[in-house]
Homo-oligomer: A and B are copies of this chain.
Amino acid sequence: MTGAITDRAVDDSARETAITQWLADFERALRARNIDAAAAMFVDDCYWRDLVAFTWNIITIEGPEGVRKMLAQTLDQVQPTGFAVAEELGAAAADTESWIKFETSVGRGIGHLRLRDGKAWTLLTTLNDLKGHEEPEHDRRPIGTEHGAVPNRKTWLEQRRREAEELGHATQPYVVIVGGGQGGIALGARLRQLGVPTIIVDRNPRPGDAWRKRYKSLTLHDPVWYDHLPYIDFPPNWPVFSPKDKIADWLEMYTRVMELNYWDSTECKRATYDEAAKEWTVVVERGGVEMTLRPKQLVLATGMSGKPSMPDIEGMEVFTGDQHHSSQHPGPDAYRGKKAVVIGSNNSAHDICAALWEVGADVTMVQRSSTHVARSDSLMELGLGSLYSESAVASGMTTQKADLTFASIPYRLLHVFQIPVYDAIRERDADFYARLEKAGFMLDFGDDNSGLFMKYLRRGSGYYIDVGASELVANGDIKLEPGVDVVRLTENAVVLSNGKTLPADLVVYATGYGSMNGWAADLISPGVAAKVGKCWGLGSGTSKDPGPWEGELRNMWKPTQQAALWFHGGNLHQSRHYSLYLALQLKARMEGIPTPVYGLQEVHHLS
């Protein structure tokens, strides 16, 4: 026992020596504005990922020359100091890496450093708070009542009601968030804590309805440890996979207790930006009445998978059965004993096929192209287990550390870390995959065998997290038509490119979603959508993610080519983590803190 403690102490101090030495040297070079010396402290194939701390951007710098250029342009403004090991985050995973902290002229940052041969291989820098604008939590939490005697005191309820009545009428919000799903809600919560007046508008009657209205068998495909919102964790009895109506209730309650100004039953009709006044005109319809909001910043949080892509197929207009996009599918109850054709083979397609089969429908899945499948158990254990699991929590992993660990791996390298995971999954589930392929299912693991998460980042599609449907495909309960396309619909059938005609009472188009800048086209203008360009994707040059390499998700949570227009979205993990950086960017602008953006992304693709 004592021996072990001593050993660890030695390791710690060895690591600290290398890390603290690097940090001290780095700070000395930066203070001296010796940019060449600083850049020379990075290995040739280095990556410096910055989340808003140095660049007021979300960007990954590559190579010492990239570092040199960035520092040359940012250093006088950022004035970084106080680089040190962040003891409060505990030990890092290996001897050559460490949690770090630092300060800038305007804020405090935390980050992560990996050394190789004494030089920086990967560096993560993130802005954690703004000096003088810290969130009122823990020892800064509000007192809740004003002690003493306060003539004509306003109670919490009176103040809250007055704010709700005045905001958007007598006073204008600084930010309008369009879309009140998990993304808009998480961002709204952070902005409230930062004191940024914000209105979230959502067309549905209640927070959570975006989940409630989906097909009834839907549960989250990500496990609970990955899904916490900021500030309030799910309780320890929360299901591993939240049923859709349960997560909806949670979002509704969260919206209330976090005191968000959430305008339900409100549709955003159009928005225009006045470049001179630096102000948006946002027309919304609330309770049947059109009204105008004039925020300084506009965030589209309408869902990274929010804009349905409907195919245009000959004969759709003559088909007499039910047909709808998967996002509109109500669930199986009306289709007992009916014939259903589901076009597509990603998550929704599988979920919907399985639910239809469970009520006794005759179901065919039309698989147009190859699809990646990973079993949920295997993903949880091999993919997420070390960061997001009960055992990770038990061994001291926090959500913050897990998020930052994940963020510390540059996207350029992420597939290298992912490939062995999926190799292991493929081996572990070899029988499963064999059965699936024997049934004709066209299986892939991504262009470079890096699996599900890279597909999610690169193209946001092309996979199914198996929770049971694959077994039905393998055993033929769900009929499969692989490698075909739909040629046309008739009055009562779907005609395929292989010549087959499938009688159908129901056709579900599980055909995915378009880029979020489509929302900008609808709400603002096609011109602004084109100016901003495609959202999501990394430019990896793999299927549906054309190059050039961009290094970060396009347009997400960071400045776009359209001033004062922002995109927020993604899964619960991303909504939680990246809402922090978007909120800090918005807060800084509200407070008039200079936010010079380094490396504003260029537009290479329109959608």
Which of the candidate stretches A17-25, A146-154, A315-323, A402-410 sits at the interface with the other chain?
A146-154
A390 nearest in chain B by CB position: B139
> Could you tell me if A141 and B358 are in contact, using CB atoms closer than 8 angstroms?
no
Bits for A257-275, please: 1 = Cβ < 8 Å to B, else 0: 1100000000000000000
* A238: chain B residues within 8 A (beta carbon): 141
A355 nearest in chain B by CB position: B153
How big is chain A's contact interface, by range? 35 or more
> Could you tell me if A157 and B216 are in contact, using CB atoms closer than 8 angstroms?
yes
Residue A142 at the B interface, CB < 8 A? yes
Bound Cα distance from A593 to B263, whole angstroms = 52
> Could you tell me if B469 and A149 are in contact, using CB atoms closer than 8 angstroms?
yes
* A5: chain B residues within 8 A (beta carbon): 5, 9
Residue A219 at the B interface, CB < 8 A? yes
Beyond A149-B468, A249-B257, A253-B257, is A219–B2 a contact (Cβ under 8 Å)?
Answer: no
Which residues of A (255-297) have their CB < 8 Å from a CB of B? 256-258
> Could you tell me if B144 and A219 are in contact, using CB atoms closer than 8 angstroms?
yes
> Could you tell me if A250 and B239 are in contact, using CB atoms closer than 8 angstroms?
no
Bound Cα distance from A142 to B236, whole angstroms = 10
Residue A472 at the B interface, CB < 8 A? yes
> Could you tell me if B236 and A138 are in contact, using CB atoms closer than 8 angstroms?
yes
> Could you tell me if A145 and B256 are in contact, using CB atoms closer than 8 angstroms?
no
* A395: chain B residues within 8 A (beta carbon): none
Beyond A216-B155, A243-B155, A253-B256, is A149–B236 a contact (Cβ under 8 Å)?
Answer: no
Residue A420 at the B interface, CB < 8 A? no
Residue A1 at the B interface, CB < 8 A? yes
Beyond A232-B232, A250-B257, A257-B249, is A193–B149 a contact (Cβ under 8 Å)?
Answer: no
The distance from the CB of A43 to the nearest CB of chain B, in whole angstroms, is: 32
Beyond A149-B471, A231-B237, A376-B147, is A256–B246 a contact (Cβ under 8 Å)?
Answer: no
Bound Cα distance from A349 to B139, whole angstroms = 30
> Could you tell me if B144 and A240 are in contact, using CB atoms closer than 8 angstroms?
yes
* A469: chain B residues within 8 A (beta carbon): 149
Bits for A197-224, please: 1 = Cβ < 8 Å to B, else 0: 0000000000000000000110110001
Which residues of A (335-367) have their CB < 8 Å from a CB of B? 354-355, 357-360
> Could you tell me if B149 and A357 are in contact, using CB atoms closer than 8 angstroms?
yes
> Could you tell me if A145 and B241 are in contact, using CB atoms closer than 8 angstroms?
yes
Contact for A237 among B135, B148, B393, CB less than 8 A: B135
* A117: chain B residues within 8 A (beta carbon): none
Residue A417 at the B interface, CB < 8 A? no
* A257: chain B residues within 8 A (beta carbon): 235, 246, 249-250, 253
The distance from the CB of A464 to the nearest CB of chain B, in whole angstroms, is: 13
* A246: chain B residues within 8 A (beta carbon): 144, 156-157, 257
Residue A245 at the B interface, CB < 8 A? yes
Bound Cα distance from A155 to B6, whole angstroms = 54
> Could you tell me if B358 and A152 are in contact, using CB atoms closer than 8 angstroms?
yes
Contact for A231 among B6, B236, B468, CB less than 8 A: B236
> Could you tell me if A240 and B142 are in contact, using CB atoms closer than 8 angstroms?
yes
Beyond A151-B360, A243-B157, is A141–B236 a contact (Cβ under 8 Å)?
Answer: yes
* A249: chain B residues within 8 A (beta carbon): 256-257
Residue A384 at the B interface, CB < 8 A? no
A467 nearest in chain B by CB position: B147
Bound Cα distance from A49 to B513, whole angstroms = 62
Bound Cα distance from A485 to B469, whole angstroms = 77
The distance from the CB of A449 to the nearest CB of chain B, in whole angstroms, is: 25
Bound Cα distance from A377 to B394, whole angstroms = 36
Residue A137 at the B interface, CB < 8 A? yes
The distance from the CB of A400 to the nearest CB of chain B, in whole angstroms, is: 12
Beyond A135-B237, A250-B257, is A245–B148 a contact (Cβ under 8 Å)?
Answer: no
Residue A526 at the B interface, CB < 8 A? no
* A224: chain B residues within 8 A (beta carbon): 141, 144
> Could you tell me if A237 and B137 are in contact, using CB atoms closer than 8 angstroms?
yes
Bound Cα distance from A193 to B136, whole angstroms = 33
> Could you tell me if A141 and B354 are in contact, using CB atoms closer than 8 angstroms?
no
A234 nearest in chain B by CB position: B232
A230 nearest in chain B by CB position: B235
- Can you list the 5 inter-chain pairs with the closest CB atoms, starting with the nearest? A144-B239, A156-B243, A253-B253, A144-B241, A137-B236
Known: A147-B377, A150-B358. 8 other contacts (CB 8 A): A143-B241, A144-B242, A144-B243, A144-B246, A145-B241, A149-B468, A152-B359, A156-B219
19 pairs, A vs B, C-beta closer than 8 Å: A1-B9, A2-B9, A135-B237, A137-B236, A138-B236, A139-B391, A144-B239, A145-B219, A145-B239, A149-B357, A152-B358, A155-B243, A156-B243, A156-B245, A231-B237, A232-B235, A249-B257, A250-B257, A253-B254
**Chain A residues at the B interface, C-beta cutoff of 8 Å:** 1-2, 5-6, 9, 135-139, 141-145, 147-153, 155-158, 160, 193, 216-217, 219-220, 224, 231-232, 235-246, 249-250, 252-254, 256-258, 354-355, 357-360, 376-377, 390-391, 393-394, 467-469, 471-472, 477
